[in-house]
Chains A and B, each alone.
Chain A
Amino acid sequence: MVKKMKRIKGLSLHVMPFSEVQDLTIAQRVKKILNLVLGNKIVILHGRLRAEEEARLIEDTMALVDHVKNFKGIELAVIEPNLRDKNMMFKVKHNIAKRLVGDNTALTVIGPATVVKEIKRDPKKLEVMLG
């Protein structure tokens, strides 16, 4: 018996450098990301959103779930370097760089829940499971 292989149709990744969203307001950033996600794209953002931006992203996502047919929400995960074991000097340098050029040492993955079933996250890796 031949096993049928499941094929993923039209998987689209959008890699976004942090500079693309750096100068935008919270609302504009979230809107830009959600527009891409609504177009069934998985967004890979070079950098990470601030905590309040992540909360806003969840809020706006929930409002869209209510109003956009077949939109069920997002999967979101961030991976960033583990600074726990680094010395104080390294942490200071890292923080200064972060303030000057933004946090581009992290990677944020945001995808529509209909495409991304789950993002398994542990401190060192992300595993994106497609639905």
Chain B
Amino acid sequence: MLKILKRFSARIFGRLFRKRESLKIGFYGPPNAGKTSLANRICKDWTGEDIGQVSGVPHETRNVQIKEKVEIKYKGKILEFKLVDTPGIATKIDYEDFMKFGMKKRTAKKRAKEATQGIIEAIQWLDDVDAVIVVLDATQNPYSQVNITIIGNLVARKIPVLIAANKIDLKKANVKKVESAFPEYEVVGISAKEGKKMDDFYESLFRLSKNV
């Protein structure tokens, strides 16, 4: 009887442990919404290291970047996960847009090629994440088809979603507009750059992980 109980508890706890260990949280969104800024903020807060480079040029992140182990302690609770920062998803890439940022034609073309491959990689990773933080630029119109497509895909795959309406430090930011565009989802307004409302974000992140 004792053996059966032991095996049963080992199986249950084993499963729970495996699930927690392999929890993968993906950061998705359009280019320049601040996915890497937010990923960096979290990594810096809890591991002391950045995950990727941030810049004003779109498609700065052109490969999926992974931080293997991030452990967040908040109000006596611990959340451990693998952080997956993905390239911004877009429907068009024009190398000439990069040239506006002072890049030479050859560099711009190379960057455009890498950006297209990054988008494909980001979409393919949708099959491999357990929960997703959709990072949106709160100063932009939230009704873009890319945002709707990303969230629609997560819903179709039954992946829990948290929407981070980023850049609330900017005057034009409108978190209410993001909330009314996606009323079925939890939306948390933050500034990843300035670390504003990060406590609210971490609380929402714990709630998100419970839905996995």
Contact = CB atoms under 8 A, between A and B. Distances in A.
B209 interface: no
B145 A62 contact: no
A76 B94 contact: no
A51 B113 contact: no
A63 B121 CA distance: 11
25 contacts: A51-B155, A51-B156, A54-B145, A55-B123, A58-B89, A58-B146, A59-B119, A59-B123, A61-B91, A62-B120, A63-B116, A65-B112, A66-B116, A73-B91, A73-B93, A73-B94, A74-B91, A74-B92, A76-B91, A76-B145, A78-B145, A113-B92, A121-B141, A122-B141, A123-B181
Q: State the majority secondary structure of interface residues on A.
A: mixed
Given A58-B119, A62-B120, A113 B94 contact: yes
B117 interface: yes
B94 A72 contact: yes
Contacts, number: 74
A62 B149 CA distance: 15
Nearest to B180: A123
B127 to A, nearest CB: 10
A66 B93 CA distance: 10
Contacts of B155: 51
Interface in B128-186: 141, 143-146, 148-149, 152-153, 155-156, 181, 183
B117 A62 contact: yes
B126 interface: yes
Interface of A: 50-52, 54-55, 58-59, 61-63, 65-66, 72-78, 84, 113, 119-123
Interface residues of B, number: 28
Given A50-B156, A55-B126, A58-B149, 16 more contacts: A51-B149, A51-B155, A51-B156, A55-B149, A59-B119, A62-B93, A62-B117, A63-B120, A65-B93, A72-B94, A73-B90, A73-B93, A75-B92, A78-B145, A78-B148, A122-B143
Nearest to B118: A62
B94 A66 contact: no
Given A54-B152, A58-B119, A62-B120, A72 B145 contact: no
